[in-house]
Amino acid sequence: MEFRQLEYFIAVVETGSISAASRKVHVAQPALTRQMRLLEEDVGTRLLDRHARGIRLTVAGRALYGEATRMLDERADLKTRLLALGSGQTGKLSLGVTVTHLWVPEVARLMGGYRRRYPHVALDVFPLLSGPQLEKLQQGGIDVGIIYHDDHAPSGIKAHLLQRDHLILAVPTTSSWAQLPPTNLAELAGVEFVWGYRSISPVYHDRVVAHFSRLNFEPHVVQYGADNITILSMVAAGLGVAIVPAASRSHPMPGIHFIELDELTTCDMPLWLAWRIGNITPVLDNFIQMAVDIFE
């Protein structure tokens, strides 16, 4: 029993005759008659009673008509679902985003645009720093991440450069620095800094420290925060100043004044889209392509 034979059988039943069905399915009448006989031989019983004015279904024919209609509908539904999965129209995608970048316009456009284009893909977003993201990527906990990293992706990870960020000074709006900003890092010697723990993002931390070492600058750290948003909230509370990625300006943070310094602008902070090698799916491939288009 073939799906093609079932389609012919349904056409015969619904048109009421072999001749009318042959015109509907564009198959010669003798060939269609032969297919109906083969179908009856396959099921082992007569399905159609032929008479001068057409055909009449037997009891077995009526049962097959109902089942054939259901089977063809299920086949069409399965083909549609498989096509959607194969083209990335449905499925699930888990995305990690550094906390700093949740409000960056390009990231917002990426998440919103992906949701609008692929409304049947479940998009789970996890605000994670770069270190935890890399761990989850390598362990399969997330599918793709937006992370700070150096120019060499770690083992098992493939990455695409999205943009190059730099560092910026954040001070409380109540600070004298907000009205009379420093012109270089040397003026910040001895100033109390809020800093981040190395363990939460080793690559980011080491890149910043290496840059300061080249400038012979060492911040006087008095407070630590778990991520950039926490650090900025501590700055706003007057606990010190901080040096953070320039993308932090995208976050609506009252009480903070940002200052550009040439020595901070020269610290290249590359932002990457990263995913696990061998884990490409249609859903992920669509996301990667959209990210590349938006960040170009």
Domains of the chain: 3-86 (1.10.10.10), 90-164+270-295 (3.40.190.10), 167-267 (3.40.190.10)
Give the pLDDT confidence score for residue 67 in this predicted structure: 86
Q: What is the pLDDT of residue 185?
A: 94
Nearest CA to 129 among 232, 204, 73? 204
Q: What is the pLDDT of residues 142-184, one digit of tens each?
A: 999 999 887 777 778 999 999 999 999 999 999 999 999 999 9
* Other CB atoms within 10 A of residue 184 CB: 12
pLDDT of residue 219: 94
Q: What are phi and psi of 247, to 5 degrees?
A: -60, -15
Helices 3-15, 29-43: inter-axial angle, 10-degree rounding: 110
Q: How confident is the model at residue 103, as a pLDDT? A: 87
As given in the structure block, the two tokens for residue 183 are 């012109």
Cα dihedral angle (249, 254, 255, 260), rounded to 10 degrees?
10
Percent of the chain with pLDDT over 70: 96
Confidence (pLDDT) at 80: 63
Average pLDDT over residues 209-216: 93
The pLDDT score that the predictor gives to residue 292 is 94
CA dist., res. 137 & res. 139, Å (int): 5
What mean pLDDT value characterizes the chain?
Answer: 89
pLDDT, tens digit (0-9, with 9 covering 90-100), for 236-293: 999 999 999 999 998 878 999 999 999 999 999 899 999 999 888 888 999 999 999 9
Give me the pLDDT at residue 81, please.
Answer: 67
User: Are residues 144 and 274 in contact, defined by beta-carbon separation less than 8 angstroms?
Assistant: yes
What tokens were used for 9?
Answer: 């059988």
- Residue labelled with tokens 């498989």: 82
For the chain, the straight-line distance linking the first and the last C-alpha, in angstroms and rounded, comes to 54
Distance of alpha carbon 2 from alpha carbon 5, whole angstroms: 5
- Other C-beta atoms within 10 Å of 92: how many? 11
- Half-sphere exposure (Cβ direction) of 178: Cα atoms closer than 13 Å: 14
What is the predicted pLDDT for the residue at 255? 95
